[in-house]
Structure 1
Amino acid sequence: MLALAIMSLALALLPAVLAVVNIASLRAPASPPTATGLVSILIPARDEAAIIADTIRAALASEGVAIEVLVGDDHSTDGTGAIVRRLAEGDSRLRLVAVPPLAGGWTGKNHACAALAAAARGDRLLFIDADVTLAPHAAAALSAHAERSGAALVSGVPRQVMRSLGELLTVPAINFLLLGFLPIPLMRRSADLSLAAACGQLVMVSAEAYRATGGHGAVRASLHDGVTLPRMLRASGFRTDLVAGTALAGCRMYAGFAQAWAGFSKNAHEGMATPRALPVWTILLFGGHVLPWLLLAVALVAGLPSPVVLTALAAGLVSLAARAAITWACGEPLATIPLHPLTIATALAIQWSALIRAARGLAPVAWKGRSYPAEPG
């Protein structure tokens, strides 16, 4: 038991130390008075009538850089296109793009993004999800950072809005995995593809680099462009970078537990849920963030020696401290801290469920009314 407790402490310390380094390294981009060039803000939308107007208004309120806003109506059935057309009557910077029928071998979002990019006129392409609300300075700040850093792709995780227990149990895993396990200083110095990362909710790409590499067309079968797009660009010799996105945008990505489970399941195979990776991730995450509390409970009930109790408690407290630091840095709800062990357990359950379903050849992933193979590509 003492050996297990010591192992748990070591596994908890790894992301805690890395989180401290990453939080110090990951800064919001400075916002200059003006940024050069034209930024095309590209919004793929499929049945987003409830939220698309607010998303567009926030994008049109961008300051410090010339913009155009293109919304791709991906065969919506709820009046999304009509809302965009009505708003476009009052602002010439807004255009509606009719996304062609989905072609074979493409996933829906990549297909819509490619159609938007083809119609865009900007020097930089800012892809945002339809549930992302941009801050007024976001487009200018990202564009200026890309110019200063020389990165062809710049991304950040928006402030995640969570309004239900189901969201609190799932969404916080995004920032924890990013800040706890990606060495951001090394990512900036190395061209290694395994260090490539982006958040598909908020991605700015140089139009020149995008078109030179094939853009979303080069990753057309992917369900996780936050992983595959930066890897593709790095493979072609371009630099990618991450910035703190909390002050740049906000996003409520899922409404409730069922939607979050389905959403995280659809791209699991391009993240953790592979036969090689998931056992390793299970050791890292379960061992450092769930096991300490189980060991502590067993040690207290069984009256085990104090070294076991103290070591397990130390591991648990280190785990919560790392979660607290990330919660503070990312502006997430304080409830994510005590819920952290359950969040990690839920994340692993989603990944293992996705892997098992793919291995058994069960039903394909369904998202936005479309079905995709359980293991794309």
Structure 2
Amino acid sequence: MTMPALFADTGRLVGLVLLALQVWLLLVLLVRLMPGYSRRPPIAPRRTPRHDTTVTVMVTTLNEAQRVGPCLEGLMQQQAPLLEVLVVDSRSTDGTRELVEAAAARDPRIRLVTDDPLPPGWVGKVWALENGLRHAKGEWVLGIDADTVPAPGLVGAVIDAVEQDGYDVASFSPQFRDQTPAERFVQPAMLCTLVYRCGAAGATQPPPDRVLANGQCFIARRDLLLTHGGYSCARNSWCDDVTLARHLAANGARVGFLDGSNIIQVRSYASLSEMWREWGRSFDLKDATPMWRRWLDVALVWAVQGLPLPILLVVGTLIATGAVNLVASPSAMLWRALLLVNGSALFIRLFMLWALRGCYAERGLTFWFSWVADLAASWRLTLSTARRPKAWRGRSFESLAAS
């Protein structure tokens, strides 16, 4: 066999393997996305109070003076069933505590709580939530992150939502705001990997090991949390929200993940580099997903999100230069199949971009071209899956990384 013929045969074999993998993973993706067609619309704020239940809101803080103000302002606008707001602070030194005390002077429902010293084996935020749970008095416990802006009527809305579908636990996806153009180019591509791996917010509840959650707005029955050990199941988890939600779902709780873009906004990061670093540490869901499944998800994201555009560009270039003949060559059927499969994957990706538009308060040109950043998002997911974080928000967690 001549060398050109050997290369041609090897190329066809590689193409066939790639095509088979893409077809299989594209079918897996379609099965995951199909429930999204019947998903619930975004939750609407509740305009009137309700007095038939009570909610404790917990906000964990560690040097959040630059971000916690709008969160506290939004919480002060909440009506019943809000009973209390516990701000669980981990000994901030930047003025966070003074801001909270000033808010408490304006609204007696706000209370500053200092968590106990962080014990070995716990992530700081999870330990703060555990401390807050010990002080909570409401029938429901609602975790709100300090970088979020709750809309008026949020607390009543989440209670309406969980009661409508009989959820014991639910979390709500936010609307992202005040992002830089660079963030709006990369972050939607990273967000899309989550949808590809876990399904859309508001869709039918998936199996427990595919449940998705968002700790920025996470509500659960207080008695249920206490029965299942509080937050201890997620004590060393970098994706504590998903770990907790999947643990409770596996133990019989009905868990929902709903679209909260009309009730909560978030400005999580100050720059693209911070978003790449801080969100990237956990968005592979490493502590809530078996390793083999994480790497299968990485393969899916590469096959149906990261590679379709480059493959289409390469094949298109080969056709344009005459290196590939779609009619007379021995590999014509393979090339046509690659075009069809990757064109279909790109079409789904563009449809997902349209479906996710409501998650962004500002969009602009970079948002609409964020699908070009799918290679970067696939690479970030791979890095996150391969590495375990050692630090977060100024705290070192070397022992957790080693374990």
| Pairing 1:301-316 to 2, within 5 Å after superposition | 301-303=317-319, 304-306=324-326, 307=336, 310-311=339-340, 314-315=343-344
Normalised to the residue count of structure 1, the TM-score between the two structures is 0.86
Q: Per-residue deviation at 1:74?
A: 1.2
Distance between the aligned counterparts of 1:255 and 1:128, measured in 2? 19
What is aligned with 1:216? 231
Three-state SS of the structure 2 residue aligned to 1:203 is strand
Label 1:66 to 1:143 Cα distance change in 2 as closer, same or farther (>3 A).
same
What is aligned with 2:331? none
Which among 81, 89, 110 is matched to residue 105 of structure 2?
A: 89
Q: Which runs of 5+ in 1 are unaligned?
A: 359-363
| Number of aligned residue pairs | 370
Which among 339, 347, 351 is matched to residue 370 of structure 2?
A: 339
Which among 189, 192, 211 is matched to residue 196 of structure 1?
A: 211
Q: Deviations 1:262-317 (Å, cap 9, x if unpaired)? A: 21343246269965234322331121123222222222222234536852662354
Contact preservation (8 Å) 1:175, 1:330 = no
What is aligned with 2:172? 156
Percent pairwise identity: 24
Q: Deviations 1:212-237 (Å, cap 9, x if unpaired)? A: 11121232111211211112212332
Q: Per-residue deviation at 1:318?
A: 1.1
Letter matched to residue 284 of structure 1: L
Contact preservation (8 Å) 2:213, 2:245 = yes
Q: Per-residue deviation at 1:186?
A: 11
1:350 aligned onto 2:380: yes
Q: Per-residue deviation at 1:375?
A: 4.2
Contact preservation (8 Å) 2:143, 2:218 = yes
What is aligned with 2:42? 28
What is aligned with 1:361? none
1:371 aligned onto 2:396: yes
| Pairing 1:1-377 to 2, within 5 Å after superposition | 3=16, 4=18, 8=22, 11=25, 15=29, 18-19=32-33, 21-29=35-43, 33-35=48-50, 36-161=52-177, 163-173=179-189, 175-183=191-199, 188=204, 192-267=207-282, 268=284, 270=286, 275-303=291-319, 304-306=324-326, 307=336, 310-311=339-340, 314-315=343-344, 317-331=346-360, 333=363, 335-342=366-373, 344-358=374-388, 365-373=390-398, 375=401
Q: Which runs of 5+ in 2 are unaligned?
A: 1-11, 327-335
Label 1:326 to 1:151 Cα distance change in 2 as closer, same or farther (>3 A).
same
Contact preservation (8 Å) 1:47, 1:78 = yes
Three-state SS of the structure 2 residue aligned to 1:89 is helix
Three-state SS of the structure 1 residue aligned to 2:391 is strand
Contact preservation (8 Å) 1:227, 1:270 = no
Q: What is the aligned-residue RMSD (CA, Å)?
A: 3.0
Three-state SS of the structure 2 residue aligned to 1:297 is helix
Distance between the aligned counterparts of 1:285 and 1:141, measured in 2? 34
Contact preservation (8 Å) 1:156, 1:202 = yes
Contact preservation (8 Å) 1:26, 1:184 = no
Letter matched to residue 243 of structure 1: L
Q: Per-residue deviation at 1:165?
A: 4.4
Q: Per-residue deviation at 1:247?
A: 0.7
Max radius of gyration: which structure? 2
Distance between the aligned counterparts of 2:175 and 2:220, measured in 1? 20
Distance between the aligned counterparts of 2:131 and 2:27, measured in 1? 45
Normalised to the residue count of structure 2, the TM-score between the two structures is 0.81
Letter matched to residue 219 of structure 1: A
